[in-house]
Each structure stands twice: as structure tokens, then as C-alpha cells.
Amino acid sequence: MIAGTGSMYPTFPKGEGKTDLVRASEIVAWPQMRRFSSDFKLFGLNLFSYNLQEGDIVQFENEETKKISQEKYGEEAGFVKRVIGLPQDTIELRDGFVYLNGGLLNEPYIAKGRSTFGGIYLADCQKLTIPDGNVFVMGDNRKASLDSRYDLGLVSISSINYVLPWISQNEYRKLWRDTSADSTLAHTATLDPAEFVKLLNEKREEANLRPYKYNSLLSSSSRIRGNIMLKTDDFFIEATKSGISLEKAVKQSGYQNIIFAETFTRGFYEADELVENFLEFPETKKILFSNDYQDIGLTASVGEINSCPQQMVVVHLGGYVPPNYTKEEIDSWGNLVTNLENVLPSWRELGKAENVDKNKVDTLLNLLETRLNNAKKILSRMKSNQWLSEEEKGMAENDKKLGEEAEKIISELMKR
């Protein structure tokens, strides 16, 4: 009996339940599999003799299947998977494809082309030669199958109970794919950015958050970051090796705003998988569900690290948060403007006198007028509750120095 978990889709149907647990309780198929035993003998004869072939579908049960099914579904059960590698075969998972004994494996039965990526037992771009007495198995729905790539590992032939031989699978072939275009998918991105933004916005709206607006310049900055990460093997926010940080990438792209954020991950994700993955991590979810940002851009960059194809997904966010200056800050600059406006006329009159150092007075007037003009710009920005520009930040930082220079000149003039 085949449960509706969907791991062998499209050969066997998916269940219709809304949760994994419900689907696992549904029986969706009951194929006529033959009994299998590698060592059962009666009167010296092996009554169930059959030599396993690549492409066979097998049912097996061992301690690992019991553990996984108990944890995931609440009861012990065996698994149904497809045999991909036999004893002494060498298998490698690369760029979403299966390579068996050095050749690209044609897999019409899998749910989607170029969808086979490594796991904790067999990672991408690592070759594994299968030892005697074992087979390497995978589900046909590669992105929804717990199989030999993960905790299950290799399956002992002695744990196999039933087999549906490759030659007996004709009734299922009408459900399989045309693989003629599979090779064209090599070295391409699997992520649709527009679909990701759409799905993420749906999640945000469920949480009563306003949707993000896609921004092409932020996509350009994310592409800059993704490409340099792959080129330099530098996957850190600090960009210590590459030297191209979030801020530098945003500046290069031409995007302008007040605050920015970045999140990224490696893996050949599709849009729905990436949304699910990101929201599994509290810190990433906090960024993506923030109300501080309004714009979003992302890119999936494809390259190689240590000769192994990789997809780098980088998401950039940009937004505006009002500065909300304190009353004290605004009053401080307002008082400076008032004081400078009050004293400037007196110093202008003094500059007309015969017995003063006119050069010093002219220098002082220039300092006071510069401070006044700068203070007016800063005060206007603050009263509008807008962030200071980089130029205005420089004015604010330089005001103390200008004030000290003015006080020095005033002291010298007063001595005369």
C-alpha cells in the first residue's frame, strides 16, 4: 500500500490532505509488487530470486525507516523508493542532475527535471561508490523525499521486502516526463524572483503587513553581492574578503534610501521553497516581516565553488524610517540660527570702522555666515522630519570647529 506523502509522485499520486500527517494516512495506490528476498531459501531453492536493476521500485523497512516515520508521522513504517544505484555503482549529484558511473542519468520518472540536490549523507559534487549488499534509493519527487541523500543513507538489500521491476512499470510511463529538454536547464537559476516577491507579499498580508514593492535597482545591488560572493567564496555580511559590502553594492546600483537590509542563502531553491526556508529562521523572518522597509529586490546568481555548481540567492531591502528628532535637538539648532542672526549685523557694522583688522573681521563674517546658512539648512530638514543628507551631516559635524575658529577671532579682535 502506497501512502499519499507524495515522495513518489508522479508515479504514485499525492494525497489530498492539507498536512503531511493526513496525507501519510491516505492510501493512494496499491501496485502489484512481487515479493523479494535476497536470501530466503526453501529446500535449497531461492523461491523469490530476482536480481535488482536500476529503476526498480522497492519497499523496505529497517531501523532508520522506523525512526524517521515514527518521528514524522507518529508510527513505524517502511518506505517505498526507486533504486538509483546498485553495488559498485558510483553516484554523483551535480547541478541538479544524477550522474551514474560518470554518465548523466536519464530520469523520465522524476517530478521535475534538474531537481536532484544533495543532502547530509551525500552532498552535491561528492562521488559515492556503493558497497556490496547495499543500494542507493531516491523518491521520484526529489524535492519532497527523505531518501539515501539524507538520514536514511544506503539501504541494505536484505531489508527489501517487495519490488516492482523496471520492466513491469509500463502502466506508469504515461505519467512521466519528456526529458529531451532537461540538459538545457544546466547552469541556470531555479528561482523566479517575481514569484518569490508575490508569495512573500501574500505571507506579509496574512500578517497584516503592507506588501513590498519590487525595485530593479535593489535587484542590481543583490546581483553585485551574489556574484562577488561566488567569485571570492566570501559568504559573510562583513564582506571581509570581497570588500563589497551591502552598502557598497547599493551605492554601485544607484539605489537611494535611508535604511537597508540583506539576507542570503545558498541552494537551488524555487520561489515557494525559498519563502518556506527563509521563514524557518527567526532572524531572517524578522527582517522579511519588518515594517521598516518598503522596497525589495533579489537575484539568484549561478556560479561554482571548488568546481561545484552553486546558486546564491541574495535579497536586498530598502526603506524609509522618519528620524523623529527630539525637541531639544530642533531647539538647539533654532537657537543657533537666532543668535547668529542677532550678532551678524553688529559685526558687519564693526567691519566699516577705521581702526579694526578688516581681514580678521571679513574672516569672522565668513565663518558666521557659513554657520548661519548651514544651521538654516539643518533646521529646515529637522522641522520637516527628514534625515540629513551626507552633506548636511558634514555641516553638523563641522559646526563646532567653525564656532571655535570664530570665538578665537572674536577674542583677538576684542584685545585690540
Residue 233 φ/ψ, nearest 5 degrees: 55, 45
- CA distances 271 to 11, 200, 262, Å, are 24, 9, 17
Q: What pLDDT, on a 0 to 100 scale, did the predictor assign at position 44? A: 55
Contacts of residues 346-351 at CB distance under 8 Å and 24 or more positions apart, as own/partner, are: 350/413
Contacts of 178 (CB under 8 A, 6+ apart): 108
Give ∠ CA 363-366-370 in degrees, rounded to 5: 145
pTM: 0.72
Helix (H) or strand (E) holding 282: helix 282-288
235 grid coordinates: 559568504
Q: How far apart are CA 254 and CA 174, in angstroms?
A: 51
Rounded to 5 degrees, φ, ψ at 61 are -145, 130
Q: What angle is formed at CA 91 by the lines to CA 85 and CA 95, rounded to 5 degrees?
A: 125
pLDDT reported for residue 48: 57
Burial of residue 344 (CB within 10 Å: 0-12, 13-18, 19+) is middle
Find out whether 16 and 23 touch, Cβ atoms under 8 Å.
yes
- What is the helix (H) or strand (E) element at residue 318, kind and residue range? strand 308-319
The SS3 of residue 118 is coil
10-residue block means of pLDDT along the chain (416 residues)? 89 87 84 79 58 96 93 90 97 96 97 93 96 96 93 95 96 95 92 97 97 97 96 89 94 92 93 92 94 96 92 96 92 96 92 86 94 96 89 95 94 82
Cis peptide before 10 (omega within 30 of 0): yes
Site of grid cell 540629513: 388
Q: Which fold has domain 193-319?
A: Pathogenesis-related Protein p14a (3.40.33)
Beta bridge partners, 103, equal 100
| Joined grid coordinates for residue 105 | 542519468
pLDDT at residue 72, as a whole number:
86
pLDDT on residue 263: 96
Residue 21: the pLDDT is 82
Residues 6+ apart with CB under 8 A from 225: 244, 246, 249, 262, 264, 314, 316
Which CATH superfamily groups domain 2-185?
Answer: Umud Fragment, subunit A (2.10.109.10)
